[in-house]
Amino acid sequence: MPTITYHRVNVFTTRPFGGNPLAVFPDAEGLPTDIMQGLAREMNLSESTFVQRARAIGANVRVRIFTVAEELPMAGHPTLGTHFVLARLGRYELSEPVTRVFQEIGAGILPVDLMVRTCRSRWCRPA
């Protein structure tokens, strides 16, 4: 099996070992669903995310969210943590004070706001 990079982050906290842990796989293009599910089981966290190229018009990225048992159409802390990681990796052209990006998920296309100065993210309900 090839090497795949992931980032483990803690969402909803400002201190180490707090909040909700999340595994983010920022380069998951081409990974089969069964491999993503297996990796999520191996991580053994409440959720793991896998970032792929967007397929929907208007989306910046496609994010697939997995628990140890199944794929979810949408989830809050995985959305926030995933875009925090992508912003830190330089995947977005950021502009202050807020940069809005759009993720394609099982539930559709969801806007996500990145607070540039404070390095935070929040998801928004589609209008």
With b for 16 or more beta-carbon neighbours within 10 A and e for fewer, the 70-79 pattern comes to eebeebebbb
Report DSSP state, residue 4. -
100 forms bridges with which residues in the sheet? 113
Instruction: Write down the H helix ranges in the chain.
Output: 33-43, 76-88
CA gap 2, 38 in Å, rounded:
14
With b for 16 or more beta-carbon neighbours within 10 A and e for fewer, the 22-54 pattern comes to bbbbbebeebeeeebbebbeebebebbbbbbeb
Instruction: For residue 42, indicate whether it is catalytic.
Output: no
Catalytic position from the list 29, 47, 70, 104: 47
Query: Which residue numbers are catalytic?
Result: 47
